[in-house]
Amino acid sequence: MHVYTEKLEKGNWYVEISPTTQYGYFENVNTGSGGGLWFEGPVLLDYDGVTQLPFAVTSALIGAGYDLTEILGEDE
Protein backbone atom coordinates (compact mmCIF):
# COMPACT_ATOMS: atom_id res chain seq x y z
CA MET A 1 0.00 0.00 0.00
CA HIS A 2 1.32 3.41 -0.95
CA VAL A 3 1.43 6.05 1.76
CA TYR A 4 2.27 9.33 0.06
CA THR A 5 4.21 11.33 2.63
CA GLU A 6 6.09 13.61 0.23
CA LYS A 7 4.01 16.13 -1.71
CA LEU A 8 5.50 18.55 -4.23
CA GLU A 9 3.84 21.26 -6.34
CA LYS A 10 5.12 23.25 -9.28
CA GLY A 11 2.82 25.29 -11.50
CA ASN A 12 -0.20 23.19 -12.50
CA TRP A 13 1.53 19.95 -11.52
CA TYR A 14 1.71 18.03 -8.29
CA VAL A 15 3.80 15.04 -7.35
CA GLU A 16 3.19 12.62 -4.48
CA ILE A 17 5.80 10.07 -3.38
CA SER A 18 5.66 7.06 -1.07
CA PRO A 19 9.24 6.58 0.17
CA THR A 20 8.44 3.19 1.73
CA THR A 21 7.24 1.67 -1.56
CA GLN A 22 9.54 3.85 -3.70
CA TYR A 23 6.62 4.77 -5.94
CA GLY A 24 5.06 8.08 -6.80
CA TYR A 25 2.83 9.76 -9.32
CA PHE A 26 2.38 13.14 -10.94
CA GLU A 27 -0.76 14.83 -12.20
CA ASN A 28 -1.78 18.06 -13.87
CA VAL A 29 -4.46 19.78 -11.76
CA ASN A 30 -6.19 21.22 -14.84
CA THR A 31 -6.19 18.30 -17.28
CA GLY A 32 -5.81 15.26 -15.03
CA SER A 33 -2.98 13.95 -17.22
CA GLY A 34 -0.06 12.34 -15.45
CA GLY A 35 1.66 9.07 -14.71
CA GLY A 36 3.69 6.91 -12.37
CA LEU A 37 7.20 7.31 -10.97
CA TRP A 38 9.52 4.52 -9.77
CA PHE A 39 12.47 5.22 -7.48
CA GLU A 40 15.40 3.45 -5.93
CA GLY A 41 16.18 5.65 -2.97
CA PRO A 42 16.62 9.18 -4.27
CA VAL A 43 17.12 8.03 -7.89
CA LEU A 44 14.22 8.17 -10.35
CA LEU A 45 14.53 4.97 -12.40
CA ASP A 46 11.43 5.05 -14.59
CA TYR A 47 8.14 6.78 -15.30
CA ASP A 48 5.07 6.21 -17.43
CA GLY A 49 2.01 8.07 -18.67
CA VAL A 50 3.84 10.57 -20.88
CA THR A 51 6.56 10.47 -23.52
CA GLN A 52 8.65 13.05 -21.66
CA LEU A 53 8.31 14.24 -18.08
CA PRO A 54 6.96 17.79 -17.91
CA PHE A 55 9.56 20.40 -16.97
CA ALA A 56 7.59 21.37 -13.86
CA VAL A 57 7.70 17.76 -12.62
CA THR A 58 11.43 17.35 -13.23
CA SER A 59 12.09 20.74 -11.64
CA ALA A 60 10.06 19.85 -8.53
CA LEU A 61 11.84 16.50 -8.16
CA ILE A 62 15.32 17.96 -8.62
CA GLY A 63 14.46 20.78 -6.19
CA ALA A 64 13.47 18.17 -3.61
CA GLY A 65 16.84 16.41 -3.97
CA TYR A 66 15.95 13.57 -6.34
CA ASP A 67 18.50 12.35 -8.89
CA LEU A 68 17.06 12.25 -12.43
CA THR A 69 20.30 11.36 -14.21
CA GLU A 70 18.96 7.91 -15.20
CA ILE A 71 16.02 9.57 -16.95
CA LEU A 72 17.45 12.83 -18.25
CA GLY A 73 21.05 11.81 -18.92
CA GLU A 74 24.26 13.44 -17.76
CA ASP A 75 23.82 16.69 -19.73
CA GLU A 76 20.42 17.71 -18.34
Q: What is the average per-residue pLDDT within 45-74?
A: 93
* Tally of CB atoms within 10 A around 40: 11
Convert the pLDDT of each residue in 18-44 to its tens digit. 999 999 999 999 999 999 999 999 999
Instruction: Label the pairing between strands 34-40 and 6-10.
Output: unpaired
pTM: 0.90
Structural domain spans, the chain: 6-28+35-65
pLDDT of 72 above 90: no
Q: What is the reported pLDDT for 38?
A: 98
